[in-house]
Structure 1
Amino acid sequence: MKHAGPTALDALADLIASLRERSELKEPRPGVFYRKGKAFLHFHEDASGFFADLRVSAAWERFRVSREDERATFLSTVERSL
């Protein structure tokens, strides 16, 4: 599974815009977010859809974010992780 490219990030623009509103997150590269100087989340793409890797505590968890309901669930998890 490869990191999300420009076309995938465009498809995730609404989700990424929501993340950019959170002042705790810094985005040094498009679609790659850091929190407190540590990698916090980034996106992947493959033939089965779009995914986000989120650092929950010390471990990375992968979330499917292809559909609106999946994105809402993911954003709720991000909120809890902040």
Structure 2
Amino acid sequence: MAIEQYQIGIHTDTKIVKISEESVTIERDGKQSVLAADTVISSIGYIFENSLAQQLKDCGAQVETLGDCDHVSNLMGAIWKAFESASKI
């Protein structure tokens, strides 16, 4: 599977504290860690909420919103947009 092949880290129940050009600072259980990263994919909840995406866009970051955060659609629409976005990375 590509996740293991490319050593992609998955962090659940984790808060993003800061994103820079070379890293992402995360917090879990009150402890912060800095991870080297050139790409960050964040999947947050089931309720429409795109304030983080807007803040990142305002900072000049490349941001892709998917699913209902982007526009209301069906599951196939969300999967297709995710595929298109991942293909650009």
Same fold by TM-score, threshold 0.5 exceeded? no
- Rg bigger for which structure? 2
TM range (shorter): 0.3 to 0.5
TM-score with structure 1 length normalisation? 0.40
Q: Which has the higher contact order (CA 8 A, sep 6+)?
A: 1
Counting strand residues as a fraction of each chain, which structure ranks higher?
1
